Amino acid sequence: MKIPPTKFGGDIKDAAFEILSEQFNGQIFENIGFVIVCIDVLELGNGKLLHGDPSTYHSCTFTVLCYMPELHEIIEGTVVEVVEFGAFIRLGPSDGLCHVSQICDDFISYENMNQRFIGKESNKILTVDDMVRGRIIAVSMGTGRSGKLGLTMRQPFLGKIEWIAEEIEGEGGEIVDDNLEVED
């Protein structure tokens, strides 16, 4: 890693941590997923100088907290945007798209004025700030800040949390707490 001379006055390990955080936090790497945050600099080697460059170059070992989404993984998140073609759901470090065809088994229509979807027969409503549970059906890990996650909520016990609660009660189950644990 490269440490510029403007960082030489203080603790070099703190400077390395700051540079690594700027360089890696929020980035996506195909082999490790979304880097949420740089945690620590474990080892910082002696600096080397290159001719014509006032910076020092160090070998460095550091730890990061990452999230690697996996196909078929069940996630929970919050709807952050509703558009004509689907709903964007915040999954912590990233957003996933649930295409309009994957929201529920009912025919749904989009209301532009209220930024929501409404089921034709079920009257199910999905709007911004709704908590949902979905399944990851497509993962495309780009580089930098461009990763794409495709989601579905068309399977049993997926969808808006209130829909799941209704489904559980319809199956004869009982909700014993807010985490939708079932007691038969």
- Using one digit for the tens of pLDDT, what is the confidence trace for 108-117? 999 988 899 9
In the chain, CATH 2.40.50.140 covers: 74-173
Q: Are 144 and 134 in contact (CB under 8 A)?
A: no
Please list, in sequence order, all residues whose beta carbon lies within 8 angstroms of the beta carbon of residue 141, skipping any fewer than 6 positions away: 28, 29, 30, 33, 147
Q: Does domain 74-173 have CATH number 3.90.960.10?
A: no
SS3 121: coil
**Own/partner long-range contacts of 121-124 (Cβ < 8 Å, ≥24 apart):** 124/159, 124/160, 124/163
CATH of domain 2-67: 3.30.1490.120
**pLDDT tens-place string over residues 11-41:** 899 999 999 999 999 888 888 888 999 999 9
Q: Reply yes or no on whether the pLDDT at 101 is more than 90.
A: yes
Q: Reply yes or no on whether the pLDDT at 130 is more than 70.
A: yes
Query: Can you tell me the distance from the alpha carbon of 182 to that of 113, in angstroms, rounded to the nearest whole number?
Result: 37
In the chain, CATH 3.30.1490.120 covers: 2-67
**pLDDT tens-place string over residues 62-99:** 999 998 889 999 999 999 999 999 999 998 778 899 99
